[in-house]
Amino acid sequence: MITWLPQIDSSIVLDSLKSLLLLLSVLIARTVVVRSIARNSALTMEAKRRWVVTVRNSMVFVFLLGLVVIWAHELQAFAVSLVALAAAVVLATKELLLCWSGAALRVGGKVYSVGDRVQIAGHRGVVLDHDIFATKLLEIGPGQSSHLYTGRVTVFPNSLLFTNALIKENPTQEYGLYTLTVPLPAEQDWKRAETRLLESAKAECTPFMQEASRQMKLLEQQNLLEAPSPEPRITIQLSDAGRIVLVLRFPAPDRGRSRIEQAILRRYLSAAVS
């Protein structure tokens, strides 16, 4: 007795026989109908051709429909397996798909490009390179208040664009408005310190104030919004420790922000000493 032959499911054999019988039945029916049409002298040749094509297409549809009915339970099991496989693939490649989607968002929304200074999920720097998987930054720091290059390179996946807010520090214009905080003891003469800080900012920003004003007006026209004045201004805040904090807003070139900030601080401290 031969025992090495593979075992075949009886339901598959039965469905195969049903499919074969269906095929034979359709072929016989098609042959009979086509012959009866060809022998019908009441029909023109054009009408006969039209009916033959209609019968042929109808028989093909009937055959396919019969196959679906016969193999319905097998197709259902295959569909369930296919859905499970697709779900497993999606779960396994979720992060990869998010990276591709993030790249599409970056390109479609023009979120950032090479040379832009951005912040996202604690990462901050200038965009060096980007592809469909990740973005490479030249890190700026230390911290959020410094503007020096650390020399390190940060790479973050594009999927972060869906889970974190991205801050673009430098807009499209050449000049921008930036802030500088100066904490003061509560007992110090804050009015005098405010005057010194404001004078220091005006002295450092005067050389490019006219160009900064022009670019702010251009930004106002392009975006249909009321652009803020680039003139240096100071607001006062009270910290929890009982200290007074002077917050200076000043204009500066996008590429010279750190230099202008340091110049203002040095001028302010020199005036305070004198």
Query: pLDDT per residue over 151-174, tens digit each?
Result: 889 899 998 998 888 888 765 567
The single-letter code of the amino acid at 150 is: T
Q: pLDDT tens digits, residue range 219-261?
A: 777 666 677 788 899 999 887 777 888 999 998 887 778 889 8
CA distance 248 to 254: 17
Task: Specify whether the CB–CB gap between 102 and 157 falls below 8 A.
Answer: yes
Q: pLDDT tens digits, residue range 174-223?
A: 788 888 889 888 778 889 999 999 999 999 999 988 888 888 887 777 66
Q: Which residue has the tokens 């003139």?
A: 231
pLDDT score at 195: 92
Q: Where are the alpha helices (DSSP H) in 71-189?
A: 72-92, 94-109, 160-163
User: pTM of the full predicted structure?
Assistant: 0.51
Element (H, E) at 20: helix 10-39
Domains annotated for the chain, with CATH where assigned, are: 10-90 (no CATH), 95-168 (2.30.30.60), 175-273 (3.30.70)
CA distance 154 to 167: 16
Q: pLDDT tens digits, residue range 17-59?
A: 888 998 898 899 888 888 888 888 887 877 787 788 888 888 8
CA distance 205 to 177: 11
Closest CA relative to residue 204, chosen from 272, 267, 269? 267
Supply the DSSP string of 139-159, one letter for each residue. EEESTTT--EEEEEEEEEETT
Around 269, how many Cα atoms within 13 Å sit in the side-chain half-sphere? 8
Confidence of residue 1 (pLDDT cuts 50, 70, 90): very low
Q: What are the CB-based long-range contacts (under 8 Å, 24+) for 111-118?
A: 111/161, 111/166, 111/168, 112/166, 112/168, 116/168, 116/170, 117/168, 117/169, 117/170, 117/254, 118/166, 118/167, 118/168, 118/169
